[in-house]
Amino acid sequence: MHVIVMGCGRVGARLADRLDAEGHSVCVIDRNPKARLRLSKGFGGRFLVGNGFSRRILEEARIGEADAFVAVTNGDNANIVGARTARDAYRVPKVVARIYDPERADIYRQLGIPTVASVRWAVNEIGALLFHRDLAPETTFGNGETLLVRSTVPAGLDGRRLAELEVEGEIRAVELTRGGRSELPAYGTVLRTGDLVTFAVAMTSLPRLRGFLEAGGGR
């Protein structure tokens, strides 16, 4: 993936180092040239000085090739403008913004821009949104340890019991929508292709849930 990270504070630097260490192409943008010092000495990506919503800077960062754009400056307004520019002007497939104001965060989630908040869990949360986007959180609890996520049932799971996707203490199915009608699933509920299921899942168990769903999808 080619990822552009707007903001090189604690979250941005940690995220950029993590993505770079995992072998992704990373470009970090920050208005302060000294922010580069927060990156590890082994960081192999690029660092650009400027505004993350400047089209000149974005094009220098190769936004036309970007698979993801993450806005994690310390200002809501800058993050919102950057995220919307990446999504609306450049059609970047995956856009995540850090938003401090809860009311603004709700608005941007409704517009299809996933948001994160607390420094304590933002890096893990952003990673989940980038690599498990089909399981983007509807709601988070505590410091992000528990999430509510929704997923469409693939054809490979048609006829299987919903309980087979549950793991004690990690994954629990809490709602099912079929044909536009919502219901609370029972232990013996049988899945049908196209059902929309809401899961309560531990953040650390997102890869496991995704594995269940991908196996059913034949991927």
Candidate CATH numbers 3.40.50.300, 3.40.50.1820, 3.40.190.100, 3.30.70.1450; the one for domain 146-216: 3.30.70.1450
Q: What is the DSSP letter of 156?
A: G
Cβ contact 57:29 at 8 Å: yes
Mean pLDDT of 121-150: 64
Half-sphere CA count of 85, side-chain side, radius 13 A: 21
Residue 152 vs residue 40, higher pLDDT: 40
Q: How far apart are CA 200 and CA 171, in angstroms?
A: 6
Q: Which amino acid is at 88?
A: D
Question: How high is the pLDDT of residue 121?
Answer: 46
Nearest alpha-carbon partner for 163 in 190, 127, 136: 190
One fold for 2-131 and 146-216: no
Q: How far apart are CA 218 and CA 20, in angstroms?
A: 30
Collapse the DSSP code of 70 into the 3-class scheme (helix H, G, I; strand E, B; otherwise coil) and give the result. Answer: strand
Calculate helix-pair angle for 102-110, 76-84, nearest 10 degrees: 10
Cβ contact 12:5 at 8 Å: yes
Q: Which two tokens stand for residue 208?
A: 């496991």
Cβ contact 106:99 at 8 Å: no
Q: How far apart are CA 71 and CA 15, in angstroms?
A: 11
> What's the pTM?
0.60
Mean pLDDT of 160-187: 92
Question: How high is the pLDDT of residue 129?
Answer: 56
Q: How far apart are CA 85 and CA 61, in angstroms?
A: 14
Question: How high is the pLDDT of residue 119?
Answer: 46
* Per CATH, domain 2-131 is 3.40.50.720: yes
Whether the pLDDT of residue 43 is over 80: the answer is yes
Where along the chain do its domains lie? 2-131, 146-216
Q: What is the pLDDT of residues 166-179, one digit of tens each?
A: 999 999 999 999 98
Whether the pLDDT of residue 61 is over 90: the answer is yes
